[in-house]
Amino acid sequence: MRLPRADLAVFLCRCGFKTHSPAISAAPVDTLNRKIAFHARNGDAESALRVFNSIPSPSIVSWNSLLAAFSKSPGKLRDALQLFNRIPQPDVFSFNTLLSCHLLNSDLLGARRLFSSMPVKDAASWNTMVSGLSRHGLIDEARELFVSIPCKNSVSWNAIVSGFVHAGDLTSAEDYFSQAPDKQDIVLQTAMIAGYMSKGDTERAWKLFKGMSMRNSVSWNAMVAGLIENGQAEEGLKLFKKMIASEEVQPNPSTLSSVLLACSNLSALQSGRLIHQWVSKLPINFNCSVKTSLLSMYSKCGNLFYACKVFEEMSVKDIVAWNAMISGFAHHGHGEEAIALFEQMRGSSTKPNSITFIAVLSACNHTGMLELGLKYFESMENEYNIKPQADHFSCIVDLHCRAGLLQKAFYLIYLMPFEPHPSTFSTLLSACRIKKNSELAEFAAKKLVELQPHNAGAYVQLANLYASMNSWENVARVRKWMKENRAVKIPGCSWIEINGSFHVFRSGDRVHPSLELIDEKMGELWKRMKDAGYVPDLGFSLHDVGDEQQELMLMRHSEKLAIAFGLISTSAGASLRVFKNLRVCGDCHNAVKYITAIEEREIVLRDNARFHHFKEGICSCRDYW
Ligand SMILES: [Zn+2]
Ligand SMILES: [Zn+2]
């Protein structure tokens, strides 16, 4: 099969600089430089370029501000390099900015080369290199460089300590922390708090936090978010309330965003709602980024209604807010609403960026709008001068998969101007499983296994496909392959928040205190589901046991246990929100549809990829996920 020319053109099209005819401006250079810096902070390189082009004789500050605008957006390294080469006399600031850009774009070779060829290095150049290397996991190289810094300042110490924290090497982090000339440095102490928290050592984090002579909002953040992330949500919220009451420091937008992010990651809707209540009495409640954090929290915790409410209340909406709402709709399977909102945004003064298009394309995906998706994809370069990245290509592959155009999806992967992400192959594999195309499924699975040999996902999907085709020989072959590669199945785990506390269930769990009641409820449901026409799909159970045993194992999948527990712990008619660490399995997906019809409840199930809204026997994903 050959790919139509038009598709090829879309895929292979590259754009260079978009030039604007300079309009001579009467404003002083300083004012225009400030404007460029403003656009740089918002990551809006194009507007920055437009202002720059209006300056008749740009100063080095103008050049550097423009370079900063290009360096801050990922994927613009080539543009930044071209720009750098045009700067008449780059200074150390220009070099440092380009150095960060290399590191931001993971071009370590380029960064090393630039660093060693720099005519002058200041403390910032060394520090940028040390933290860039450690961020990329090259902690040994970072350490070597750190030792040779001629003019170490507090930032250098922070860079190396944070580097070790990031690498998970807390012993070395502590070692360097103890050697630092100023151990009372707030940034340094906060890095250590974050380190202790990342290892689950809340006790030592507390000790350090209590002993701090001064604390800023970042240290409070690290402590509050750390407690929530370590399952001590109540303690975290208590501390957060103390922070609000304290004279010492007031929560700022970034405090809020890290605390609300902790709630989102845990799907702790009730904690998030409490924070919303407290914040609504503070002046920062009107801050755009605080509102955006709140709306993201609601959306990620499964409550799209409140997310919409917060969005509607916002008097000023920046690009981040629009993106959060559009992707909220997309994740929840409300493709039409996402597209409508995008169209509304296009009519406003806010211009879409690369992230907007990921949200829009995935909205097209979730609702199967192939033609529209392709139209938006083309408009990225043609109308907005945004070069598609690997994530955008993955969405296009997904769109074709969903439309059943598997061969075409295969060619698109083949022609991608990027190394495809593992998720791209996993998308193709899922589609092959649904459409029962074993030939392409083998291809996708092989690629996935090459990239992640120990991840059981690919083998399980492939085996499920063969099981659904009753090809047991192949099921056995895939299982053998999986064993040979020592692939590990990540255990399925689901959780539900009831009255502010979390109940976590693992598949086959026999430890929950309400186990008997859960079993009883599940048994009752099973019977009523079967009466309504439900047939357990034993193809999803990959074990060598009899049918009866297989059915029991299916009944005890973590999401079913969490739902049964939710049903017995809440009043009739209340909707349930369940979260799962892995992709929801086909049998559970089918079973939940029956449960919503029988129990007359709405159930929201978030798996590792998306939200499934079940209502009256139907799922918002329309059975494609
Ligand atoms: Zn299941
Ligand atoms: Zn679904």
Task: Starting from the CA of residue 614, give the closest ligand.
Answer: 2
**CA 47 to ligand 1 center in whole angstroms:** 49
Helix (H, G, I), strand (E, B) or coil at 408: helix
Boundary of a domain, candidates 298, 316, 334:
316
Is the domain of 475 the same as that of 586? no
**CA 60 to ligand 1 center in whole angstroms:** 61
Tokens 């290397």 sit on residue: 133
Examine residue 595 and state whether it is found in any structural domain, yes or no.
yes
Is the domain of 530 the same as that of 564? yes
Examine residue 244 and state whether it is found in any structural domain, yes or no.
yes
Is the domain of 297 the same as that of 225? yes
**CA 625 to ligand 1 center in whole angstroms:** 14
Is the domain of 446 the same as that of 509? no
State if pTM tops 0.85: no
The residue segments making up the domain with residue 309 are 215-316
How much is the pLDDT for 22?
38
Is the domain of 468 the same as that of 568? no
Is the domain of 465 the same as that of 568? no
Is the domain of 458 the same as that of 574? no
Boundary of a domain, candidates 294, 316, 338:
316
pLDDT tens digit string along 319-343? 999 999 999 999 888 899 999 999 9
Examine residue 150 and state whether it is found in any structural domain, yes or no.
no
Boundary of a domain, candidates 484, 518, 535:
484
Examine residue 380 and state whether it is found in any structural domain, yes or no.
no
pLDDT tens digit string along 489-518? 788 899 998 877 788 999 887 888 899 999
DSSP run (H or E) holding 230: none
**CA 413 to ligand 1 center in whole angstroms:** 30
Is the domain of 526 the same as that of 552? yes
CATH number at residue 474: 1.25.40
**CA 600 to ligand 2 center in whole angstroms:** 17
Examine residue 518 and state whether it is found in any structural domain, yes or no.
yes
Is the domain of 560 the same as that of 464? no
Q: Are strands 576-580 and 618-619 parallel, antiparallel or unpaired?
A: unpaired
Is the domain of 535 the same as that of 442? no
Q: What is the CA radius of gyration of the chain?
A: 27
Task: Starting from the CA of residue 538, give the closest ligand.
Answer: 1
Is the domain of 550 the same as that of 527? yes
Examine residue 600 and state whether it is found in any structural domain, yes or no.
yes
Examine residue 351 and state whether it is found in any structural domain, yes or no.
no
Task: Starting from the CA of residue 610, give the closest ligand.
Answer: 2
Is the domain of 500 the same as that of 472? no
Rounded CA separation 409/430 (Å):
12
Examine residue 456 and state whether it is found in any structural domain, yes or no.
yes
302 within 8 A of 497, measured Cβ to Cβ: no
Total tally of structural domains belonging to the chain: 3
How much is the pLDDT for 366?
81
Q: Are strands 576-580 and 603-606 parallel, antiparallel or unpaired?
A: parallel
CA angle 340/396/490 to nearest 5° reads 105
Question: Low-confidence residues of the chain, pLDDT below 70?
Answer: 1-27, 539-546
How would DSSP label each residue in 327-374? HHHHHTT-HHHHHHHHHHHHTSSPPP-HHHHHHHHHHHHHTT-HHHHH
